[in-house]
Amino acid sequence: MQRGIKKPFTEVIRANIGDAQAMGQQPITFLRQVMALCTYPNLLDSPSFPEDAKKRARRILQACGGNSLGSYSASQGVNCIREDVAAYITRRDGGVPADPDNIYLTTGASDGISTILKILVSGGGKSRTGVMIPIPQYPLYSAVISELDAIQVNYYLDEENCWALNVNELRRAVQEA
């Protein structure tokens, strides 16, 4: 577009980094209120915050050792938050139960992906781990796979079929690896 070449669109949006607020989404006030209250519990007595945010903050703080966000939590994350996530997933999935013990909270998608790959990848030389990743892919996958000295095994999503997964393509990728 900068070179004057005609395109079937009028603008390019940055949608590759997952930064919703950089894309114009307004911050969610409730989450910021709860975080402020948890970070500085003296605000729990302030009339400036709604009762639902105070109630949520109290519940989270009670689940933390020493009633403080600064204390260590279980490796999986704060239990009451995992319970809330499980309840949400159960509602979202039409009543199929989600177990909080199977939920691990991370500081974001990148940290979660990196942690899981570190758990799965082992071996060296000819016994290096192969990791199948879809093409197109999230660039973090290939970066972490390379960092861990694993083998990237690409499989291609079917663009003509709404980027669907094709089992025959998975077989092809495994056989070629």
Specify the CATH number for the domain of residue 19.
Answer: 1.10.287.1970
The pLDDT, as a whole number, for residue 125 is 79
Domain carrying residue 85: 73-105
User: Is the domain of 121 the same as that of 170?
Assistant: yes
Cα–Cα distance measured from residue 95 to residue 93, given in angstroms and rounded to the nearest whole number: 6
The distance of Cα 83 from the centroid of its chain, to the nearest Å, equals: 17
User: Is the domain of 127 the same as that of 152?
Assistant: yes
DSSP calls for 16-57: SS--TTTTTPPP-HHHHHHHHHHHSGGGGG-TTS-HHHHHHH
Cα–Cα distance measured from residue 157 to residue 133, given in angstroms and rounded to the nearest whole number: 10
User: Is the domain of 65 the same as that of 78?
Assistant: no
* Ramachandran sector of residue 114 (left: φ over 0; alpha: ψ -120 to 50; beta: rest): alpha
Structure-block tokens of residue 88 = 């949400």
Q: Which amino acid is it at 124?
A: G
The pLDDT, as a whole number, for residue 138 is 86
User: Is the domain of 120 the same as that of 66?
Assistant: no
User: Is the domain of 31 the same as that of 91?
Assistant: no
Cα–Cα distance measured from residue 156 to residue 177, given in angstroms and rounded to the nearest whole number: 14
How far, in Å, are 156, 157, 163 from residue 160 at the CA level? 12, 9, 7
When divided into structural domains, the chain yields a total of: 3
User: Is the domain of 94 the same as that of 118?
Assistant: no
Positive or negative CA dihedral for 25, 26, 30, 32?
positive
User: Is the domain of 53 the same as that of 93?
Assistant: no
The distance of Cα 114 from the centroid of its chain, to the nearest Å, equals: 11
**β-bridge partners, 132:** 153
Cα–Cα distance measured from residue 55 to residue 51, given in angstroms and rounded to the nearest whole number: 6
User: Is the domain of 43 the same as that of 101?
Assistant: no
The distance of Cα 172 from the centroid of its chain, to the nearest Å, equals: 29
Answer yes or no: pTM beyond 0.75.
no
The pLDDT, as a whole number, for residue 50 is 97
The pLDDT, as a whole number, for residue 8 is 85
Sorted by sequence, the CB contacts under 8 Å of residue 21 that are 6+ apart come out as 27
Spans of the chain below 70 pLDDT: 1-2, 14-18
